[in-house]
Amino acid sequence: MSHTFKLSVIAAAVMAVAPAAQAFEAGDFILRAGVVEVAPDDSSEVITVAGDPIFGSDARVAVDANAQLGIRATYMFTNNLGVGVLGATPFKHNISGAGDLEGAGKLAETKHLPPTVTLQYYPMHSSSALQPYVGVGVNYTTFFEEKTTDTLNGAVAATVGLPGATTKLNLDDSVGVAFEAGIDYMLSENFGLNAAVWWADINTDATIKVYDANGGYVAQTDEFEVEIDPMVYMVGFTYKF
């Protein structure tokens, strides 16, 4: 038996008894980073004052999409279950008219942060390089830096007969359920690729306050609900440690 053949047999035996490289297992921390897009499936109630529509019987608002840098972290407390947290740089959304206000242009803008916590289930064995997962949890969305435009100010001024009127938008924070599905493909023990999608129940109650040319408070709209309910998409990289 040649020396080379003996070494080949020994190497094969070692590989046969050596444990498979673990992809994800209990105690692992997993970081994922990439581009996240929030694509609202939006709708809103009609804008009214004291129950009466002020811009038309079907005057509503719409919210556009936005992409930012997303960062997610997961802690695996078993080989198949983990707790995930989604974070991102602040999303910025333009708010435009819909219904009777469609075509009016940009009425306002806002920023929001949507931290989301999910319980994740990984069905594959921890040795698999391909790791699909699903999750369910809670989304908390906080809105800030709401700003209205001259377009909205002008529409209000013309509607209520108040030259020089200005407006202020307020959006309440939202708490709702979130669902996710994703997949990791590990290129090595520590690095891999990731793609994921979420749906989040995000609804906010909005009000628009009106001020005269001197900044004095005049009136405000009734609260009107804006349903954002976005699909959220992410592609990026995975790092496990």
Residues 49-108 have pLDDT tens digits of 888 898 889 999 999 999 999 999 999 999 999 999 999 999 999 999 999 998 889 999
Distances (CA, A) of 185 to 34, 59, 92, 134, 189: 15, 47, 31, 15, 11
Contact 222, 209 (CB under 8 A): no
Which residues fall within 8 angstroms of residue 17, CB to CB, at 6 or more apart? none
| pLDDT class of 166 with cuts at 50, 70, 90 | very high
pLDDT, tens digit, for every residue of 172-193?
Answer: 999 999 999 999 999 999 999 9
Has this prediction a pTM greater than 0.85? no
Contact 240, 34 (CB under 8 A): no
Residue 122, pLDDT score:
97
CA 128 to chain centre: 28
| pLDDT class of 16 with cuts at 50, 70, 90 | very low
CA distance 158 to 176: 37
Tell the burial category of 180 from Cβ atoms under 10 Å away from its Cβ (0-12, 13-18, 19+): buried
Answer whether CATH 2.40.160.20 is correct for domain 25-240.
Answer: yes
pLDDT, tens digit, for every residue of 189-216?
Answer: 999 999 999 999 999 999 999 999 999 9
Mean pLDDT to the nearest integer, 139-163: 92
Residue 54, pLDDT score:
85
Distances (CA, A) of 7 to 2, 14, 16, 17, 32: 9, 11, 14, 16, 41
